[in-house]
A and B are shown apart, each in its own frame.
Chain A
Amino acid sequence: AQSVTQPDIHITVSEGASLELRCNYSYGATPYLFWYVQSPGQGLQLLLKYFSGDTLVQGIKGFEAEFKRSQSSFNLRKPSVHWSDAAEYFCAVGAASGTYKYIFGTGTRLKVLA
């Protein structure tokens, strides 16, 4: 069965430090992968997506993610975190069967220390 795992429920980093949020997926074929950010009480904003091609994907707000098929991972990175990056981050994979549904990970809550 398809699944998405975000091993870290909470992460705390200092402003200016680098960030990596982990995402592992279980999927038979080449997955469609997404990272979304959700600020408190808000909807989801797409940071980046991977459908095919270059495995290093650039997104908005200085984020990037790397698709590693051998590790079934799609980790999100940012070289220098800003206080405004504090939010909830969700990894998602597009489910099979053409339904276009997503399977979401449980999310990682990022706290940024000034």
Chain B
Amino acid sequence: GAVVSQHPSWVICKSGTSVKIECRSLDFQATTMFWYRQFPKQSLMLMATSNEGSKATYEQGVEKDKFLINHASLTLSTLTVTSAHPEDSSFYICSASVGTYEQYFGPGTRLTVT
């Protein structure tokens, strides 16, 4: 149980375009979802926290207009990278929580912007 999926697992897009990453909790309802960014050989950096039906709470330094987060249902959250640039290339990981301190992580999405 407690499986989180992400789609796509890998995406390449051209500079200036937007890309959407989906995060789904497959067998439970996630009251809270988290989005992380991970640079090569580095730790996870929390980007934002989202609760179903509410606006996401972004961490300091994260551009809200560039990284749009929508938590439309208790099983789906999306991260849209708008007007992507090469510096947005990274590994993006989502996680989901049922309102406790235990998070269930997705497998991650590798974004490459050319």
**CB within 8 Å of B: which residues of A?**
32, 34, 36, 41-46, 49, 51, 90, 94, 99-102, 104-107, 109
Contacts and interface: CB of A to CB of B under 8 A. Distances in A.
22 contacts: A41-B91, A41-B110, A43-B6, A43-B93, A43-B108, A44-B95, A44-B105, A51-B101, A90-B43, A90-B44, A94-B101, A99-B49, A100-B49, A100-B100, A102-B46, A104-B44, A105-B43, A106-B42, A106-B43, A107-B42, A107-B43, A109-B41
Interface in B88-114: 91, 93, 95, 97, 99-103, 105-108, 110
B87 to A, nearest CB: 20
Given A41-B108, A41-B110, A42-B108, A100 B103 contact: yes
Interface of B: 6, 32, 34, 41-44, 46, 49, 91, 93, 95, 97, 99-103, 105-108, 110
Give the interface centre of A46, A49, A109 by most chain B CB atoms within 10 Å. A46
